[in-house]
A and B are shown apart, each in its own frame.
Chain A
Amino acid sequence: MSEALKVPTMADYMATGEMPEILFWVGCAGSFDDRAKKVTKALVKILNFANVKFAVLGTEESCTGDPAKRAGNEFLFQMQAMTNISVMNEYKIKKIVTGCPHCFNTLKNEYPSLGGNYEVIHHTQLLQELLSSGRIKIEGGSFKGKKITFHDPCYLGRANDVYEAPREVMLNLDAELAEMKRSKANGFCCGAGGAQMFKEAEKGDREVNVERSEEALALNPDIIAVGCPFCNTMMTDGVKHFNKEQSVKVMDVAELIAQAKDL
């Protein structure tokens, strides 16, 4: 684990005069949140293993502005967007993979009319590409006999109609995939979206993440799979609420693949 990760920046690439295949947009959570950083590293290991020429923006990356926009602060959002766009256009970025569905949605849908036109995919879509093109192969079933349920992130699922990529990736794991009753287009929010992550919830009977975790735990899964750092936090807290953290793990799809490859 301690060996240094190979994480080239766009600036490094510029110095060599080469271009990466893809920009990995790490996101604020992926950069700063302790739990999400592990997912970032898992994804980097996969990218390195599959010999994907990728780069990060490093310190030149800044918040996409998603939480500001959902909270109504359009000024701040557009300031962030235009700053990021000028950085990315300077580097002539064509393709981006994000570690977070919120960054994915914002970069893909809200940047184009401000001058940022890129092909944007979510990391589960990249994993699907890598698996289907054979750049990663998974043999042996370290997840054999495990029950996994996938919690759809709102901003990947309903917001952008990506339901199959994470599921197809997990099919490679030889595990049992169980669906919650509220899944795909009817998926139930973890409670973090719309800038809720950064504030206390309004007065109510219970927390949204408790409601959702209860639904997931009712399937008796070994793993609750997620594709979003905020869902990860919310579901992890929800599992703790029911004192199930010993028996049920909350893991990002990227971590499942990294673990299956022993990375």
Chain B
Amino acid sequence: MIASIIFILLFAAGAALFTVNSRKVIRNIRLGKDVDLSDQPEKRWKIMTLVALGQSKMLSRPIPAILHIFVYVGFVIINIEVVEIIVDGIFGTHRFLSFLGPLYNFLIGSFEILAFLVAFGCAIFLIRRNIIKLKRFVSKDLDGWPRTDANAILITEILLMSAFFTMNACDTLLFNMGSHHYNIAFANPISQFVMPLFSGMSEGSLIFIERSAWWFHIIGIFAFLNYLPYSKHFHILLAFPNVYFSNLNPKGKFTNLESVTNEVKAMMDPSFTPPPANPDKPMRFGAKDVTDLSWKKLLDAYSCTECGRCTSVCPANITGKLLSPRKIMMSTRDRLVEVGENIDKNGSFVDDSKSLGSYISKEELWACTSCNACVEACPINIDPLSIIIEMRRYLVMEESSAPTELTGMFTNIENNGAPWQFPPSDRLNWKNE
């Protein structure tokens, strides 16, 4: 009875806290500029099924793809077990789903195998990060918290799976012993190998260990759930909407700024009257801060799990430049979180004399070749390039701070209709040369 009450309180607290924090994330994403991505729903469902659910873009790197499938499928399916744990916790039942009979046997057996694969996958991931030291994981992008975050996620998952095996192993031992409460047998393809660790223990000790593992497992899950909104691991939820709202245009197509179109039309055609400007929102060209980016870019930032595939194919990064597309996403998220905290503290955003430019330097922005390799590489269709371009637009159109050579190129186009200093009248000279 007391256990049930404690459980219900923990469950309610976990769910409530998660709701509050998720809402904050959603609020932060909505700070972005409006963009309508509700078109072509059939195409969007298809791409989400293929890329998010089906992990199709992971396949380009087969080893992490297989390990990631283990963890992903395991995580999703083992959640059925969590349903049972929650029902047992609330009502004080023991293995409530066991009424399913042979199916239950099959389920628990499958969960054990999947749990083993999850733990195995996570262990290899830890090895790749910390022992093999793959380049994209030892990058300075991840120095500090991001690296700790990654390891914490992997270790937690292994601990959660270990608790699951411990719980099942002790349960079976108690069943074999004829212990009163433990009256359900189930398939134990993995936990049978854990059983010898606990054999020979008294009934009391086994019950204590089984209960501890059960509580550790479920409290761990509640805690993990609430860790998500603070972590790169939030991708497990956001990857799906993020892929749904993918850019469906050719990757080379950049947006045409409507505000600019109005000004250019007014300049070229005196009879054109631009629509009245919105007095509440001063017009800005490009992105100075995260709130100048569309909400999709902000969703991109929260969905990024910092895998670094983008950076590992970036020509600028590969040749030693400062630019790292992954860091563009991480910086965007860091700044967005900062803006969100500012709003939480002050009620509405109070100028902190910072901007996205405080996180992303000009040197990074000007190193981009706009080759789209990062966009192609992202397993969940994040688009770092569009953030780079929006920030360049701000630098050029609001701050007039392009590199000198580029200013020269602009002047040439303006004066000669070509990026070089040739007179436009010579444009057809080639045919007689």
Chain A residues with a Cβ under 8 A of chain B: 4-5, 7, 9, 26, 28, 30-33, 37, 40-41, 44, 56, 58-59, 61-63, 65, 67-76, 78-80, 82-83, 105, 108-110, 113-114, 154-155, 158-161, 185-189, 191-208, 210-212
Contacts and interface: CB of A to CB of B under 8 A. Distances in A.
From B265, B402, B413, B428, name the one whose CB has the most chain A CB atoms within 10 angstroms. B413
Given A68-B410, A71-B396, A202-B367, 14 more contacts: A31-B427, A56-B428, A62-B417, A65-B413, A70-B254, A70-B370, A72-B394, A73-B393, A74-B256, A80-B413, A188-B313, A199-B403, A201-B319, A212-B315
Contact of A75 (B251, B263, B376, B395): B263
B418 A73 contact: no
Interface string B245-269: 0000111111011001101110110
Contact of A4 (B375, B403, B432): B432
B362 to A, nearest CB: 9
Interface of B: 60, 249-254, 256-257, 260-261, 263-265, 267-268, 285-286, 313, 315-316, 318-323, 363, 366-373, 375-376, 389, 391-397, 402-403, 405-406, 408-410, 413-414, 417-420, 422, 424-433
Contacts of B393: 72-74
B392 A71 contact: yes
Nearest to B317: A204
Nearest to A30: B430
B252 A155 contact: yes
B52 to A, nearest CB: 19
Contacts of A114: 256, 261
Contacts of A9: 428
A159 B396 contact: no
Contacts of A196: 369
A196 B391 CA distance: 16
A73 B397 contact: yes
A158 B316 contact: no
A68 B428 CA distance: 22
Contacts of A212: 315
Contact of A191 (B313, B315, B395, B430): B315
Nearest to B392: A72
Contact of A159 (B252, B389, B397): B252
B373 A189 contact: yes
B264 A75 contact: yes
B409 A37 contact: no
5 contacts: A79-B414, A193-B370, A196-B369, A202-B323, A206-B319
B259 to A, nearest CB: 9
A158 B429 CA distance: 33
B253 A198 contact: no
A71 B372 contact: no
B371 A158 contact: yes
A26 B417 CA distance: 13
Contact of A82 (B268, B315, B376, B391): B268
A195 B263 CA distance: 24
A82 B265 contact: yes
B313 A186 contact: yes
A199 B394 CA distance: 19
Contacts of B371: 154, 158, 189, 193-194
A28 B419 contact: yes
Nearest to A157: B372
Given A28-B418, A202-B363, A71 B265 contact: no
A78 to B, nearest CB: 4
Contacts of A113: 256
Given A31-B430, A159-B251, A202-B363, A76 B257 contact: no
* Most chain A C-beta atoms within 10 Å of own C-beta, residue among B368, B426, B427: B427
Contacts of B320: 203-206
A109 B250 contact: yes
* A65, A71, A110 — most chain B CB neighbours (10 Å): A71
Nearest to B402: A71
Interface centre among A63, A110, A114, A201 (most CB of B within 10 A): A63
A217 to B, nearest CB: 16
Nearest to B366: A202
Given A32-B422, A72-B392, A202-B323, A208 B263 contact: no
Nearest to B259: A74
Contacts of B427: 26, 31-32, 58-59, 61
A78 B256 contact: yes
Nearest to B264: A78
A238 B44 CA distance: 41
Contacts of B261: 78, 114
Contacts of A5: 431
B301 to A, nearest CB: 20
B319 A204 contact: yes
Contacts of B420: 28, 32-33
A61 to B, nearest CB: 6
B250 A63 contact: no
Contacts of B413: 63, 65, 67-68, 76, 80
